[in-house]
Structure 1
C-alpha cells in the first residue's frame, strides 16, 4: 500500500512539473486532461480530481496512453520512461540515471510512509521536531524530492529525519594553524559539556585545538579518505568520536538541532540529496557569512513585528590552502535556533498532503483559530502575510536583500492557531542587489551580490511562486473557498505595500518558476532553469 501511495505522489509531481515546464496550462475537458507527448505523437490521459489555479493539480488513480491505436493503461515504470523520453527529445539528458533517481525517491517515500509516527507532540521543541521530521513526500513540483544517493538502505533509520533520526554528533579537534573560520554574530558554537570532554581527551599540547562537529555518516566517509588520514597521522586533526547530547536531523537531512542549545549545525554530508551532493564549499559558507553580516546591519533599522531571520553566526573549516580537497567536506555553518518557548513549524510540513484522507496540517491551525468560513480564512491569511510576505518584500524594497524564503526555509509559530511569528533561515541562499544594497565591507566579488533583476527574480520565485502559491492552494482547496478568492486577498494586501516591487507583482502577467524537472534531467541542480507561469494576481485583480 505504501508503494502505491508513493507512486501516486510521484506521478502527481511528475505530471504537474511536466505541465508547468513544457505546456504551461492543463487542458481539461469533461474531467479529463490530455498532456501531449509531441516526440511520439501521443498523449497522457488522466482524470483530474482537483484543478488548481496555480498548477497544484490532483489526479485519478489510473493513467492512460492515447495514440492513433487508441487508449491503454500505463504502468508506473512505463510512465516514468515516457516522461524521460519526452525530456530527452527536447534536448538531451541522462535518461537511465533519471529513471533510477525517480525509483530511488519513490522507494524512500514508501519506506517513510510506513514509519509509525510518535504521539501528537505537546512541548514546544517536540512540536518543532515533529514538523521537521514529517515531510514525507517533498517538493510538489520536483521529480525526485526524496532521492538520496549515498545512504545505504540500512543507514536510513539512523539518519533519515522522516524516520525520526537522532544521534550524537562526532567531533574533530583541529590544530588552530590549519583552521579557517569567521564569526559574524554572537552565540556559542559548541556546547560547554563537549568542550570539557574534549579537553579531557586531548593531550596538553593539543588544548588549543578547535572543535568541528561532524555528522556521524560523514565521519565514516572521511575516515576512508587518505588526505584526512594524513591530517590525523600528523596530529593536526584528532577524531574524538561521538560526544555530547543527541541531536535530531531536520528536514534538510544534514542540518541538526539540539533543542537545548542556542545553535544548530549545518553540516557537510557527502550524499546526493535531490539535486546535488550536500557538502559545504568554502565559497558557500563565505556567502552565508556575508549574508548574515549584511542582514544583521540592516535589521537594526527594521520595524517588522513578528518577523525574524535566523542568522548564520559564522563558519569553521579546514583552510583550503592547507588541505583544499577536504575543506568542503568539513565546513560547518553555525545557525541560531529560535528562542526558547516558541514552537515554530517548518511550513513545508504544514502544507504537505496527508495521505490518510485528512487535509494538510495547516488546516488544523486555521480551524483552531476559528470556523473555516471565507471571512475567517481571509483574516488568517492577512495576518500571515503581515509577518511574512510584507516584511520579505519590504526588506528587498528598502535594503535590496532577497531571502530564499521557500517553504522549507520558512518557519511559523502560532498561538491559538493564529500566525504570530515567522522565521526565515538558511542565509546561503540569500542574494543582495549589487545596485541598491549597503554592502559595507563586502568584497565587490562577493558571491552574495547579484544584479537587481536577478535578486528580484529569485525573490519572486521563492516567496510568491513557491511559498505563497502553495499556501493559497492548500487554503483554497481544503476549505472549499477556492484559490482564486484567496489570491484576491493577496492582491488586496499587496496594494497596501509601498514601492515599485509590490506594484510590479500586481501588474506583471507572469511569475518565474524553477524548472525542477528539466533541471534534474539535464543535471543542472546548482544552475537551475526557470520558466514563466501565469500570475494569478493579475487574473484576480
Structure 2
C-alpha cells in the first residue's frame, strides 16, 4: 500500500513537472514572438506549408483542432521552431495546441522540452546582441518551473468561496502560472525550496507574524492618520505583546525576520538592548499574490512587508523613498477622492496612509540603510467600510492572468450573471466586460489626464468587486507603482518628501502615458479579452469594440484636447506600448530601466463599423 501511494505521488509530481514545463514553453514563446520574432518578420501563423515537412503529431493536432501552424525562424542559429496554435492573434495572445518542435538544416524535426527551448532562444539572443550566455536568466526560468511544479503538485485552485473575504483570499492565492508574457513568471531567488513551500500564497499557506520591539528613538515612522503607525500596529498586536513607553512593536514577515536576525547591525542592536526579538505570535496572516503583502480579515490594514527575495524582476524590499512616496500619493489621493467619488462612485482606492521602520543611527550608512529597508512596512487600507453589501472582492489576475484556472473562474461568473440577466452567454460576456472597462478605465484615464496621477492598473493591482457574477466595484492598489507627472507636480508641491523620493515619483507625460497604456490595454484588457473570448475570435473582436466604445464615451464625457490626441491615436490603431520582459531580463535591467516595444492594436482595424452598444 505504501509503495502504491509512493508511485502515485511520483506520477503526480511527474505530471506536475510536465505541465509546468509546458506552460514555461508557452510563456517563453509568448515573449519571444511579441518582442523578437514578430517585429523582425521571423514569425508566421497560417496553414501547413508542406505535408511532409512536419511531425505527425502536428498534423494530427491540426486535424483535431482546426488550428494554424506557428513557424518561427531563428536565423542566427539556423533553427526553425514549429507548433500548432488555435489561430492568428493580433495581440500575440496565442493558445498552443501541440508539442513544440525544432529543426536544423539537414536534420529531422526534434521534440523540444522547456530546457531545450529556453536554451535555443537564449542562444539566439546572445548571438543577436553579441553577448555571452545569460546563465542568470536560465536559472530564473529553472526556478520558475520548479515553483510552478511544486504548486501544481500541492493543489489546484477551484471555485471561490461564497464568503466574500474568504473568496478574496482564495483569489489572491490561486495564481498557479503567473504572468503570461514573462520568461520566468514564478522565479523566486534567495529562498529555499522548503521556505518557498511554507510562505508562497499559491500553496494556500498562512502563518503568524514575527514581532520585534524597538526602542522608540530608533523607530522611523510617518502617518497621515489620527494615530501614529506604531499605535495602529499595537492595537492589532496579539495579547501579551502590548507596546510600552520605551518600545514600539514592529511586525515582519517570518522569512524576513530570519534574514534580519542574520544582519550584524540587528544582532548588535539586540545584544545592546535597542531591539528585542519577540518571535512569532498571534493570528495567522495570509500572503497575497505579491507574496510579501499580508492580510487578515479582522485587521483593517494589509501589511506590506519587506522581503529580501528576488521575485521575478526585483528584490522586494521597501526602500525609504518608496515608503515616503506611498505616503505622498496618499496625501494627494485624499485631496482628490471626494471629487473622484462623485464622478466614479464604484471606484475605491486602497490608500497607504502610514509606514514604520527602524533607523539604528550607527553612522554606517550602508548598514543603516539595509536595516531600514529590511524592516520597512507599509499600511494599506483594507476593505472595512468600503466593500458594498453583497460584493465579493476578487483579484483581477485570478480571472485574467491565470491561464486555464482563470478561464474556469470567469466562466463561473458569467454563468451567474447570465442566470440573473437572462441573456445568452456571449451577450452576457459583452455586458460583463463593458461594466469592467467602464469601472476601471474611466477613473484611471481621468486621474492621468485631469490630475497627472499615473496609476499602474495591471492585473495584480486591480481588485474587482463582483455581485451576482457581475462587476460592481473596482479597487486600485499599490502606491509603490503610482507616479506623478512632473509637469503637474513641482518640487514645492512635493516638499514633504526627500529629493530621492521626488525623483522616484516624477514621470514625464510620455512616460506616464506608456505606463498607463501598457498596464491598462496590454497587461489587463488584452488578457481579459483573451480569457473571456477564449477560442472565439468573433467574440474577441466584439470585446475590442467594447473598448473602442468606452474610449469614445470617455472622451465625450471627460475628455480635453490632450486626451483627444491620445485617444484618437489609439482609435486609429497606433500600437500599444508593451513591456519587453524577456529582453529586459536578458540584459539584466532593473524594472525602472525597462523599455517598451510596440504591440499591435486591434482598435484601428475595427474602424468606425466596429461599434458596440
Q: Matched residues in 1 for 2:468 and 2:382: separation?
A: 22
- Give the alignment of 1:377-392 within 5 angstroms: 377-392=429-444
Equivalences, count: 535
Q: Matched residues in 2 for 1:321 and 1:510: separation?
A: 50
- Say whether 1:111 aligns with 2:150: yes
Q: Structure 1-normalised TM-score?
A: 0.94
When structure 1 is superposed on structure 2, of 72-81 and 86-95 the one drifting more is: 86-95
Pair 71,360 (structure 1): closer, same or farther in 2 beyond 3 Å:
farther
How far the C-alpha of 1:391 sits from its partner, in A, is 1.3
How far the C-alpha of 1:439 sits from its partner, in A, is 8.2
When structure 1 is superposed on structure 2, of 158-167 and 475-484 the one drifting more is: 475-484
- Say whether 1:507 aligns with 2:546: no
Deviations 1:430-479 (A, max 9, x none): 01111135887413941212111111111111111111111111122256
Work out whether residues 8 and 61 of structure 1, in 8 Å CA contact, stay in contact via their aligned partners in 2.
Answer: no
Equivalent of residue 96 in structure 2, options 59, 74, 79: 59
Secondary structure of 2:325's match?
helix
Secondary structure of 2:25's match?
helix
Work out whether residues 399 and 407 of structure 2, in 8 Å CA contact, stay in contact via their aligned partners in 1.
Answer: no
- Give the alignment of 1:195-206 within 5 angstroms: 197-199=240-242
Residue of structure 2 equivalent to 1:448: 505
Work out whether residues 414 and 425 of structure 2, in 8 Å CA contact, stay in contact via their aligned partners in 1.
Answer: no
When structure 1 is superposed on structure 2, of 398-407 and 115-124 the one drifting more is: 115-124
Secondary structure of 1:487's match?
helix
Residue of structure 2 equivalent to 1:520: 585
Pair 321,295 (structure 1): closer, same or farther in 2 beyond 3 Å:
farther
Secondary structure of 1:458's match?
helix
Work out whether residues 90 and 601 of structure 2, in 8 Å CA contact, stay in contact via their aligned partners in 1.
Answer: no
Residue of structure 1 equivalent to 2:45: 28
- Say whether 1:4 aligns with 2:44: no
Residue of structure 1 equivalent to 2:123: 85
Work out whether residues 5 and 355 of structure 1, in 8 Å CA contact, stay in contact via their aligned partners in 2.
Answer: no
How far the C-alpha of 1:354 sits from its partner, in A, is 5.2
The answer to which structure, 1 or 2, has the higher relative contact order (CA under 8 A, 6+ apart) is 1
Q: What are the ranges of 5 or more consecutive residues in structure 1 without an aligned counterpart? A: none
How far the C-alpha of 1:195 sits from its partner, in A, is 6.6
Q: Matched residues in 1 for 2:289 and 2:339: separation?
A: 32
Equivalent of residue 155 in structure 1, options 183, 195, 198: 195
Residue of structure 1 equivalent to 2:7: none
- Say whether 1:471 aligns with 2:539: no
- Give the alignment of 1:130-529 within 5 angstroms: 130-185=170-225, 189-190=232-233, 192=235, 194=237, 197-199=240-242, 207-302=245-340, 303-319=343-359, 321-322=361-362, 323-339=368-384, 342-353=391-402, 355=404, 359-370=407-418, 371-437=423-489, 441-443=493-495, 445=499, 446=502, 447-477=504-534, 481-498=538-555, 499=559, 500=563, 501-507=566-572, 509-526=574-591, 527-529=593-595
Secondary structure of 1:535's match?
coil
Larger Rg: 2
When structure 1 is superposed on structure 2, of 479-488 and 152-161 the one drifting more is: 479-488
Q: Matched residues in 1 for 2:370 and 2:133: separation?
A: 27
Considering fraction of residues, name the structure with more helix: 2
How far the C-alpha of 1:144 sits from its partner, in A, is 0.5
Q: Matched residues in 1 for 2:220 and 2:548: separation?
A: 47
